[in-house]
Amino acid sequence: MRIGQGIDVHRVGDDPARPLWLGLVHVPDAPGLVGHSDADVATHALCDALLGAAGLGDLGRHFPDTDPAFAGAPSRRLLEAVVELVRAAGYVVTSGDVTIVAERPKLALYLPAMSHELSSVAGAPISVKATTSEGLGALGRVEGIGASAVVLLSAS
């Protein structure tokens, strides 16, 4: 068994046309996050946890923000590639847990869909929950959204 942990944070953007993606789910009526890809912090944290558990480094190592091939890339594509890397390293995903830290938007209605989407790509149950930072710091001032994830892998 291998355990991995991942964290990601992205700044809230000011482009009203940029969509907010969290956990592979579009969250309407909320400003999108700034990033080279679609800036889905929940999925990126999960990817980093998976890569770390398999001893494969981090997301930036495999999908650098200097590579134009990943500009605007959907995080579903990144997660699919990461799951394949994990499998090629001799592991399967057993379970995962993701926590999103955001003051706004309220995410309770979207969490089941996020869990479903992430689980379907990972091939294992991935729980998703959300919390706030109680108004403290940059996340509390709604300057960004963060996420953390933990995963358990087993040898295939």
Scored b (16 or more CB within 10 A) or e, 102-130 reads bbebebeebbebbbebbbebbebebebeb
Domains in the chain, please, with CATH? 2-155 (3.30.1330.50)
Q: What does the pLDDT profile of the chain (156 residues) look like in tens digits? A: 999 999 999 999 999 899 999 999 999 999 999 999 999 999 999 999 999 999 999 999 999 999 998 888 999 999 999 999 999 999 999 999 999 999 999 999 999 999 999 999 999 999 999 999 999 999 999 999 999 999 999 999
Question: Whole-model pTM above 0.85?
Answer: yes
